[in-house]
Amino acid sequence: MTAIDRLQSTFARIATLDEAAAMLGWDAAAMMPPGGAQARGEQMATLAGLSHELLTAPALADDLAAATSPADPWAAQNLALMREAHTRATALPRDLVEASARAGSACETIWRTARAASDFAAVRPALAEVFNLARQSAEILGAALGLSPYDALMAQYQRGIRAADVAPLFADYTLFLQKALPLAEEIQNRRSHESLPPGPYAVDLQQALCARLSAAAGLNFASARLDRSAHPFCGGTPTDIRITTRYDESDPLSAITGVLHETGHGLYEQNLPAAWRRQPVGQAAGMAVHESQSLIIEMQAVRADEFLAHLAPVLAKAFHKPITQGALAHRLRHVARSFIRVEADELTYPAHVLLRFRLEQALLSGALPVADLPEAWNEGFHALLGITPPDDAQGCLQDIHWYDGAIGYFPSYTLGAMAAAQLFAAARKALPALGAHLAAGDLSPLVSWLAQHVHSQASSLGFNELLLATTGEKLNPAAFQAHLESRYLTQ
């Protein structure tokens, strides 16, 4: 075996360990009884330690030193990503890796109860430890990679994106929102609207419809399943996609849009190139790219007028209720200053991300003590949207991310929304009949276009390089603002 062969074999083993961790993570969220939490934390820590051991083995370092860059661009990129992963891993001691995995698992378990009780004090010590360990890791990684500590964490989720890139985009959006939000509210208030018929909407009917719509969008359920969890997510592996959601008997659209959002993630994973499976270059290009794939389905396509015209009679038949396109449009495109990120409309959603982007930097640096998070959250939220959360369950306890150690992740949501708008505009131009297909409930032309231009590229290209190749320019938030103006600010 050549050095490259040995490297590919080792990274395939690492990817397999990561797949096992992903399945255990899904199980913890969807199936595991509370009594399994401590053992699960040890299992996750052990898998993280084993991956770290493989990445830092002297033999792997020798092979990286001996390997020469292949002529094939995919193989060359694969080697470059291997070297980057090795640099990250060798910078961090194994005991810190395992302690971080253990702390995140323990904190997430406490968070579930704390959120339900709106009891930040209950989870505060565990969250402080998560940030303490994250700070140590970030400082070590930043020094090794030549990045700031926060940028070093951001790079785990989206290569090539820095806080300095994000901050001006978010500052511009803050100014846009200050003008756009009151105007959108004014326009909305002048319009008459229809409402969804009152519930109940039976959970079993919702679940069957969610699965049906997800399959119709293209997700292969021979290699996927749909379950329930406290927080909707898409996990698993490319050949074993695990989608979860939560159901509300008074409002079926929360679950439906949530599942279609996660379906976008699942489609990306299922359409990654099989020839490069379990290799770094064969994995998704980052979480901002991943989020663009969920949002182009959920926000750009499913909430478009054409698709809503198709969806209304489908829902009316499924629930035996007089559900109209106008009612769907009002429910799914209603602008409101609200507290919960995952339920926010697409105009105000970026404000939720802006707040988290600012707070997590302050928490990581130590400028904001964890004990002061609820107050800082409420003040920051009021400054952005003019309302104050009534309790911590609707404030700083609502998201799982910080509590399981995902720090630096949140910017990907809004970068993904901006990229989704840019990609959808390009798709409409490339597919003149796309509107007619959406009106027939047919997402296949869009998904096929995405599979060709985004999914199949995996990590062969970075975030901006992928957008440039597909749309003709790097990330340009003008497409997102134009989309919002067309949908919400048209008189």
Catalytic residues: 262
- Dist. CA 340–CA 79, nearest whole Å: 41
Question: Is residue 112 within 8 Å of 40, Cβ to Cβ?
Answer: no
- Dist. CA 28–CA 310, nearest whole Å: 36
- Dist. CA 384–CA 399, nearest whole Å: 18
CA-based nearest residue to 202, from 245, 244, 249: 249
Q: Distances in Å between the alpha carbon of 313 and those of 129, 310, 322, 327? A: 51, 6, 8, 12
Dig out the tokens for 484 from the structure.
Answer: 């919002």
Residue 383's contacts (CB-CB under 8 Å, 6 or more residues apart) are none
Using only C-alpha atoms, the chain has a radius of gyration, in whole angstroms, of 22
φ, ψ of residue 102 to 5 degrees: the values are -65, -45
- Dist. CA 50–CA 415, nearest whole Å: 33
Rounding to the nearest 10 degrees, give the CA dihedral for residues 376, 379, 383, 384.
Answer: 60
Secondary element (H or E) of residue 37 = helix 37-55
Question: Is residue 103 within 8 Å of 31, Cβ to Cβ?
Answer: no
* Exposed e or buried b per residue across 444-469, where buried means at least 16 C-beta atoms within 10 angstroms of its C-beta: ebbbebbbebbbebbbbbbbbebbee
In one letter, which amino acid is 103?
Answer: A
Dig out the tokens for 108 from the structure.
Answer: 């997430």
Listed in sequence order, the DSSP H helices in 372-410 are 373-385
In one letter, which amino acid is 50?
Answer: L
